[in-house]
Structure 1
Amino acid sequence: MTGKKLLLITGDFGEDYEVMVPFQALQAVGHEVDAVCPDKEAGETVKTAVHDFRGDQTYLEERGHDFELTATLSEVDPADYDALVLPGGRAPEYIRNYDAVIDAVEHFFAEDKPVAAICHATQILVAADAVEGRTCTAYPALEADVRANGGEWGEGVVTDGNLVTAQAWPDHPEWIAAFLDVLGTDIQHGQPVTAD
């Protein structure tokens, strides 16, 4: 399998698991992932937030890790990438206001390239007019946003053409598997080798 080149766009207080898990998992199966953030350069970090579900009406938020960016948004060309990953957290609510973020999202949809969005990342899709006529999902509180912008609401993990969406990090196994399927990633499962 030849790995693909993927672009991951996040910002300060992106959800920790939703940034780190796909970033690492996609690399583990052979893809190259560039992580970028508006107004920050390669080598700088963003602070992540941990969202936990403890039976309250919404999630609890705590400070996560520092996540190092691998590229600079102003220097990358979306045309050089095969797919886009949009993590959730609080970052989407403000990075959706950056023209470079919206331009990148619009490129991936115009070229029918795979896009994976989870949780609050659907706020970016809404800002880029990418949900109209599509079935997608997000953190449940965003159902009204999806419907108000012409989208159909789905549950769990939803694949609609090139778009794979999920509600939150507990969906990672199904979300990442569905995205790998859309990417055409072929993973060969071998038998574990043990030393005698």
Structure 2
Amino acid sequence: MISFTYKLYLVISEADCKGKNMIAVARQAIKGGVDIIQLREKNASVTEFTTKALQLKALADEYHIPLIINDNLMVAEHVNAAGIHVGNNDLPPAEIRREWNVANKIIGYSIEYIEQLHNEQMEAADYLGISPVFGTATKTDTVTEWGLEGITTIRQLTTKPLIAIGNMQLNNVKAVINAGADCIAVVSAICSASNPEKAAYDLKNEIIK
């Protein structure tokens, strides 16, 4: 099993950057304290996704942090990403393990139903994305809004690293960590910030203090 020691996880796309240069935003976020990054481009063609992934991979390699690709094994393989993150309706983690038979690749798996904690997909994953903790405009196709109690419940049922996502803000991340999450995943709080570096710095220090 991969050692997952990351605390601040940036989920980024071109659209989430609101007209700003995505690579510039990512660089600022990394400087501020982001230590793992995921590229999520749900509506991009494979060619567009791959181009953006290669640019982001070069940046991630420069700072020695992992790049995770959202829900596209072809892109993840092509750019030699550190891993892939999938949801309940995507290619299952157990199948990814069989198809992407490369040591030390990270597989993340979004948990939307409590029943997912008892299937082979959870066992095949390196970390679990608790999605969403709180409702968010950046992801509207979700099933369960977990809240703090949901994180605590899941924490009692698994030893896997838990990554909390969904309206993570400076005023709630510490409570989420205290509820049992290991890492905070952020979209808008960094991507839409006027100063992504400061936003990341403030979030990281709130998480680890």
TM-score, normalised to structure 1, is 0.38
- Structure with bigger strand share is 1
- Greater relative CO, 1 or 2 (CA 8 Å, sep 6+): 2
The TM-score with structure 2 as length reference comes to 0.37
